[in-house]
A and B are shown apart, each in its own frame.
Chain A
Amino acid sequence: MSSSAIHALPGGLALSAPMDAHIDATIHELDLQPSYYLPLINYSRTVLHPEVKSGDCVLGGEQLAPGVVAPTSGTLTEIRQHPWPHPSHTQVPTLVLESDGRDEFQQFTVIDHTQVGVEEILNRLENSAIHGLGGAAFNTANKIRRAYEHKNLTLIINAVECEPGINCDDALMQQHPSEVLQACNAIRQWLRLPSAVLAIENDKQTAITALRDDQTPDLTSIKITELPTIYPSGAESPLVQRLTGIKLQPGERATDAGVLCLNVATVLSIHDALMGQAAVDRIVSISTQSLQHSMNLRVRFGTPLKAVIEFAREHNTAIEAAWRSNTQTIRIGGPLSGFAMDMLNAPVLASTNALIVGKEHPLNEATACIRCSECATVCPVNLLPQELYAAAASEQLDTAARYSLDACLLCGCCDLVCPASIPLTPWFRFAKDATRQKQQSDAAAEVARLLSEKHSNRVQRRAIEKEQQEAARRAAAAQRQNSAQDIKAALTRVKNKRPGSGS
């Protein structure tokens, strides 16, 4: 695909990592940890019900709750409140898995996609707890299920990785180009598509060369498309817009428009799951605050952040120096889309794509919004952040919804340009969270209302039934009485007759 086929993004910022950045693309392996922490909550903050109980011995890859699998073999010691990597800095019910050191895995069969139906494949993905590794951690099986029904499906493999400081996908493609392409091709064949697009930003020339060099003739159906470096091209709706020209409406997902976007690392874990291997880890980028130094580490889900950082400090002097300069706070995610975290016993999850270590620059104190519209100019999805901010800061969630809060990617472009230094994205994240909570409590209230309605209906029905039964009983009694009187009368008549007739 030529670059002319790439549609322009309505906003976004041309950001790139420092020119002289030292990015270590080797993928380091983290040793087995003594314990793993698996939050019983999913990306939409629904609490999950465990299918195991404390004291159970489990194997690696075994499902512990819907969407949660054991990262290694060991014993479940307890379920307790534990921090999780979320900007709310809250604690959630978490399974604690004590590793037994044997690291044994459950055996799964290899699924041949030409032999089995789609449901079986999706079930495997469901049971292997495959989640998107791009940052949002959507349930991959659900995503594919929604897309699968489309006749003209487009498959986009998202290797854009547009945020500076995140280079886990870059490292993956540099280190394992043929595995990546084979996995992409397998998914393409399974979905019965003639071709797929692998989108990558043009500042990753090493990875692009590695992929192109590896393209064996039968893999030409994966088209490598280079995108100009504009943040946030890698987010789903901007990516769909840039590659296909389709503008997603607020609330619309790419799958609704017949486009399936899968992160490149997710594609590999789908492939692993189908090949019978448990997909229980991800690559995490760890960078210094200046983004000058960066390294990559394969980490199992549930590993405490502390262990990851300790490893990085031992193996990278720049990260060690940055850590020392710091206030014990790290940033989870990229420099723009991420959030600060000080609870370092929180675990790594599917969404934990990067960590940033080092002292952050405090922003100037926020001043009044003068509605200058810089934010609207850079917004990649054409929102009006100044209006959204006014709505979010006054907690008018309905107004925020009218301004399409739903479509906000939380990319952070508006934060970066705001002349008044207003923390716009944190406000939007807050408003999104509040909206979700309100929806959940509304739904709960609706359930309660329905239940109470059912209850009062039942009570009423019972009363009516009781009334009817009573009436029937009374009628029957009356009838009985009547018939008893009849009999009595008849007997009397007979009695009275008898002497007469006898005479």
Chain B
Amino acid sequence: MKPTSIYQAWQYPRRSTASIMMQVMLSLVPGTVLMMHWLGPGVLINWVVLIAASVLCEATVMRLRQRSIKTALNDGSIVLAAWLLALCIPPSLPISQLIVGAVTLSVLGKHVYGGLGQNPFNPAMVGYAVLLISFPKTMTLWFDPNLAVSWTTPAVWADWWNLKWFANPSVAPWDSITQATPLDRLREFRNQSASVSINSLHTSPWRELSVAWLMGGVYLLARGVIRWHIPVAVLTAAIIALTVQSYLSPNTTLPVWSAMLYGGMVFGAFYVATDPVTAPSSVRARLLYGASIGLLSVILRTHSNYPEGFAFAVLLMNASVPLLDRWFVLDKRS
């Protein structure tokens, strides 16, 4: 007889899927608020539009699949995925592109595979990769935080409106308001074979944000929402790879700690690589998975066309999860 549903005699305080998602979102709040504070209203617009569009898309797909919309939205997984994507994209990204991101995340990231729990690839990273490849120009434009931030002047809000709807900066030409991120600058240095001067990089607010993500991650570890294996493996492998790199070519690399904090490494280690659906299940497989992501993202960061390689590293390793799961079936027992 196949089990259909069970009754349980013993009551035990159990965590629900929704509460796990809530914990993760809670830990994202400080970093998100800081990001909005430092990078301007664009981040807030991204956040609202991405979440709203993704939820709408999720509901539509569930309707088409004739499944319960309520169940799908109650677990909070789609909100979390959209939230994570919102933290990876530049504040200036036009709304049309945001919607492309939301649809990709929900449909291509999740539902073509059968919905929550079935997707082999991290939905937020699928959304990110599609946006990055489709819109390379807008996806790599980041505003100078010193110029772009204004939460009080209506004129600036109007500019944001123009920018987000029509991709048209009315205040000034792009060049004068945008700024290369530290890793972009680093790539430029490397391409020109110039030696890196850390003072010429605009390190704020990237460093501070990484610290915020680190603290959020520590909170999740303390609450037992994520386990230490993947983030520790990612960060350790990345530190080792960056150290080796800095010995091999000291002129074109940043100090290891700066390199760790300026990109998306910390965010990815705690919030992207730890997605349980797309990570392997056994402990040894998780260590290998995390270490490969750390290593791959350093390699991609240095040798690919993109300044940051975390998303692609995660997607590549997502693809290898079935293999890892096969290799490490019985790790804890033997």
> Is the pair B276, A371 in contact by a Cβ cutoff of 8 Å?
yes
Q: Please give me the residue from chain B that is nearest to A89 by CB atom.
A: B1
The interface-forming segment of A271-279, A298-306, A335-343 is A335-343
Q: Which residues of A contact B325 (CB under 8 A)?
A: 387
Neighbour of A10 across the interface among B2, B16, B118, B332, CB < 8 A: B332
Question: Is there an interface contact between A419 and B14, defined as CB atoms closer than 8 Å?
Answer: yes
> Bound state CA distance, A356 and B9, in angstroms?
8
Q: Which 6 A-B pairs have the closest CB atoms?
A: A426-B3, A335-B10, A368-B117, A360-B7, A335-B9, A382-B332
The range of chain A's interface size is 35 or more
Q: Interface size bucket, B side?
A: 35 or more
- Minimal Cβ-Cβ distance residue in A for B286: A373
Q: How far is the CB of A471 from chain B (nearest CB, A)?
A: 60
Task: Output the nearest chain A residue to B75 by Cβ-Cβ distance.
Answer: A367
Shortest Cβ distance from residue A20 to the other chain B in the assembled complex, whole angstroms: 15
Task: Tell me if B249 counts as interface (CB < 8 A to partner A).
Answer: no
Note all chain B residues with C-beta closer than 8 A to A363: 5-8
Q: How far in angstroms is the closest Cβ of chain B from A130?
A: 30
Nearest CB on B from A419, distance (A)? 5
Partner of A404, one of B3, B118, B281, B330: B330
B227 at interface by CB-CB < 8 Å: yes
Cβ of B43 < 8 Å from any Cβ of A?
no
A374: Cβ under 8 A from any B Cβ? yes
Smallest beta-carbon distance B61→chain A, Å: 14
| Given A370-B116, A382-B333, A404-B333, A336:B10 Cβ within 8 A | yes
Contact B329 A403 (CB under 8 A): yes
- Contact between chains at A361 and B8 (CB < 8 Å): yes
Q: Among the listed A291, A370, A381, A416, which residue makes an inter-chain contact with B17, where contact means beta carbons less than 8 Å apart?
A: A370
In the assembled complex, the CB of A188 is this many whole angstroms from the nearest CB of chain B, namely: 32
A331 within 8 A of B: yes
List residues of A (47-93) whose CB comes within 8 Å of B's CBs.
87-89
Q: How far is the CB of A12 from chain B (nearest CB, A)?
A: 13
Inter-subunit contact A331/B9 (CB<8 Å): yes
Pick from A338, A360, A370, A416: contact of B12, CB under 8 Å? A416
Q: Are A419 and B8 in contact (CB under 8 A)?
A: no
B301-318 vs A: 1/0 string, CB under 8 Å?
000000000000000000
Interface pairs (21), CB distance under 8 Å: A15-B10, A15-B12, A249-B334, A335-B8, A335-B10, A336-B9, A360-B9, A361-B8, A365-B5, A368-B17, A370-B117, A384-B281, A403-B330, A416-B10, A419-B16, A419-B20, A421-B16, A423-B5, A423-B6, A426-B3, A426-B6
Chain A residue nearest in CB terms to B229 = A373
Give 13 A-B pairs besides A336-B10, A416-B12, A420-B17 with Cβ atoms closer than 8 angstroms: A249-B333, A334-B9, A336-B9, A365-B71, A367-B71, A368-B118, A370-B20, A370-B77, A371-B279, A384-B282, A402-B329, A419-B14, A419-B15
With both beta carbons as reference points, the residue of chain B lying nearest to A288 in the complex is identified as B9
What CA separation (Å) do A148 and B20 show in the bound complex? Answer: 50
B: residues with CB less than 8 A from A are 1-3, 5-12, 14-17, 19-20, 71, 75, 77, 115-118, 227, 276-277, 279, 281-282, 325, 329-330, 332-334
B16 to chain A minimum Cβ distance, whole angstroms, is: 5
List residues 410-452 of chain A with CB under 8 A from any CB of chain B. 415-421, 423, 426-427, 429-430
- With A and B bound together, what is the CA distance between A387 and B279 in angstroms? 12
Complex interface residues of chain A between 282 and 331 (CB less than 8 A to chain B)? 289, 291, 331
Which residues of chain B have C-beta atoms less than 8 A from A376's C-beta? 281-282
Chain B residues with Cβ below 8 Å from A336 are 9-10
Which of B3, B115, B282, B333 is A423 in contact with, Cβ under 8 Å? B3
- A362 within 8 Å of B (CB atoms): yes
CA distance A88 to B1 in the complex (A): 6
Instruction: Quote the shortest CB–CB distance from A434 to chain B (angstroms).
Output: 9
Q: Which residues of A contact B279 (CB under 8 A)?
A: 371
| Closest Cβ neighbor of B1 among chain A residues | A88
Residues in B neighbouring A137, C-beta threshold 8 A:
none
Shortest A171–chain B CB gap in Å is 20
Q: How far is the CA of A291 from the CA of B334 in the complex (A)?
A: 38
Does A369 reach chain B (CB closer than 8 Å)? yes
Q: Is A386 an interface residue (CB 8 A)?
A: yes
- Also in contact, A340 and B75, with CB within 8 A (given A370-B17, A403-B329, A418-B14): no
In the assembled complex, the CB of B77 is this many whole angstroms from the nearest CB of chain A, namely 7
Q: How far is the CA of A125 from the CA of B50 in the complex (A)?
A: 71
- A348-373: which residues lie under 8 A (CB-CB) from chain B? 356, 360-373
Q: How far is the CB of A246 from chain B (nearest CB, A)?
A: 13
One of A89, A289, A371 near B9 (C-beta < 8 A): A289
Of B8, B20, B116, the most chain A CB neighbours within 10 A belong to: B8
Provide the bound-state CA to CA distance between A335 and B20, in Å. Answer: 26
CB-based nearest B residue for A420: B17
Q: Decide: A372 near B116, CB < 8 A? Known: A381-B333, A382-B332.
A: no
Is A371 within 8 A of B10, CB to CB? no
Query: In the complex, A402 Cα to B330 Cα: how many Å?
Result: 8
B281–A419 touching, CB < 8 Å: no
Are B5 and A371 in contact (CB-based, < 8 A)?
A: no
* CB of A135 within 8 Å of the partner chain: no
Smallest Cβ-Cβ distance to B20: which chain A residue = A419
From residue B325, how far is it (CB to closest CB) to chain A in Å?
7
The answer to whether the Cβ of A258 comes within 8 Å of any Cβ in the partner chain is no
B72 to chain A, nearest CB (A): 9
Interface contact B333-A387, CB-CB below 8 Å: no
Residues of B within 8 A of A356 (CB): 9
Complex interface: chain B residues within 8 A of A165 (CB)? 9-10
A224 at the interface (CB under 8 A from B): no
Name the A residues within 8 Å of B282 (CB-CB): 376, 384
Q: Which residue of A lies closest to B326 (CB)?
A: A402
Q: Decide yes or no whether A228 CB sits under 8 A from chain B.
A: no
Residue A121 at the B interface, CB < 8 A? no
Closest-by-CB residue of A relative to B11 is: A361
Highest count of chain B CB atoms <10 Å: which of A336, A382, A430? A382
CA distance A249 to B330 in the complex (A): 10
Bound form: Cα–Cα A247–B2 in Å: 31
- Residue of B5, B6, B281, B282 with most chain A CB atoms under a 10 A cut-off: B6
Q: A126 to chain B: closest CB distance in Å? A: 32
Whether A417 contacts B15 by the Cβ 8 Å rule is yes
The answer to whether A87 and B20 touch across the interface, beta carbons within 8 angstroms, is no
CB distance from B295 to the nearest CB of A (A): 23
Whether the pair B1, A371 counts as a contact (CB closer than 8 A) is: no
Residue among A87, A364, A370 with the most chain B CB within 10 A? A370
